[in-house]
Amino acid sequence: MKTKQAFKKIWIVALLVTTSGALWAQQQTTKEKFSLPPLPYETNALAPVISETTIKLHHGKHLKTYIDNLNKLIMGTPFENCDLETIVKNSTGAIFNNAAQALNHIIYFNSFSPKAEHTPSGALLAAIEKEWGSFDNFKKEFSAAATSLFGSGWVWLAKDKKGKLYIFSESNAGNPITKGYTPIVGIDVWEHAYYLDYQNRRPEHIEKLWTIIDWRTVGVRYK
């Protein structure tokens, strides 16, 4: 009887060890490469320009979904060990859509601050003035591009390798990085970015964004 009980204990211990090992191995093989980055401010910090509800849905749901989808899509592909920019530059189809939207949103959310510097300075301001004459002229042209873009997409300020600036209107998940340009700041004109707060008043939403774009942060991307 004692022998049977001892054997039973050994069998249970072995089963627990095996099960724990299997679970650990599964966790290692399914570990996600990309994770949802934290916001650099509280979810209510940008209100009333962008409400806490919109931030929670846009960042916590939409962006998280793109990242979760990307982690699943790249498993077993040549992109499995690539960084996000490499994936965006070289992928197509569903992988591109989710990777680009992840990158786009990370740039977008990290362009805002409740204590934003409202005007650029230094080299970035000089580059803007060179192309558009003044910061106000640039804002008018950028806002017009964001207002007039049909359907869903993004409007970007981007630079080439020499530092020359351009405004790009991109549909859906488009990012100028695929054309060899470096994105400096991007505005999301998908309806989920503003509809809860502004309904169909996209121009009003875009106008209010100028009060929370932090040109200190944007300027660092230009260097």
Q: Is 205 annotated as a binding residue?
A: no
Helix (H) or strand (E) holding 201: none
CB atoms within 10 A of CB 136: 10
Question: Quick one: DSSP state of residue 38?
Answer: P
Asked whether residue 105 is marked as a ligand-binding residue, the answer is yes
Give the neighbor-by-neighbor strand order of the sheet with 165-171.
165-171, 153-159, 182-188
Structure tokens at 48: 């009333």
If one counts every other C-beta atom within 10 angstroms of the C-beta of residue 75, the result is: 13
Binding site per annotation, positions for Mn(2+): 58, 105, 188, 192
